Amino acid sequence: MKILDNKVALVTGAGSGIGLAIAKLYAKEGAKVIVSDINEKHGQSTVDEIKSAGGEATFVKADTTSPEQVEALVKAAVDTYGRLDIACNNAGIGGEQNQAGDYSIDGWKKVIDVNLDGVFYGCKYELTQMEKNGGGVIVNMASILGSVAAPFSSAYTAAKHAVVGLTKTIGAEYGPKNIRCNAVGPGYIETPLLESLSSDQRKGLVEKHPIGRLGKPEEVAELVLFLSSEKSSFMTGAYYLVDGGYTAV
């Protein structure tokens, strides 16, 4: 028996990178997956990959900065598969690189809209539905920058710290309701977000990870799968790193 058999899972930002890896692993382990992304082409590609491997998935386009679209996304999951058991709020952006005093107001708002507000909207509507189910699991995608600084990325760092705090609060509030909520903190991972780096920038990032390389999306997905399953049934309101030792030094 697969560990997510008979479960319905939702993944935002599932068109590429970590979200793609999570959606594929959820499906591989038996879940029916609602794949969501703002990019319809990429999201549908994820669904096609899942179906070609024998899994079940449906694409629903949604902009996570819109509470109305996120509410509709959760409704679509229930309309399609009858319930919502698992949600991974993964959608995120990097944002501009600037010192805090030079950071643009529009740039700040954009990062907070996606990386914090979007996660909150997801949690809000997922929690409402999971209460109707009698339980569920939420995994929020934070970052190593949910616990350490990143010069020139004040908005991203602030948002990811806030996601950790939001996650802990939800874990405390909803534990009595049989809903668990945890956050994952990846180090630097081989995703499209890093494609614009120069070779020197990439080398500098690698050197910050004692394990000697960048992470793979599939390695993050394995942790998310564990936190989404009954194998982690006594774990909630916490923040788990998968960072190659980045925060250890």
* Residue positions annotated with a catalytic role: 156
Which residue has 């899994």 as its token pair? 55
- In sequence order, the β-bridge partners of residue 179 are 136
Q: Is the dihedral of CA 90, 93, 99, 100 positive or negative?
A: negative
Question: Is the separation of the CB atoms in 159 and 111 below 8 Å?
Answer: yes
Question: Is the separation of the CB atoms in 163 and 115 below 8 Å?
Answer: yes
| Rounded Cα distance, 29 and 1, in Å | 9
Tokens of 219: 């390695």
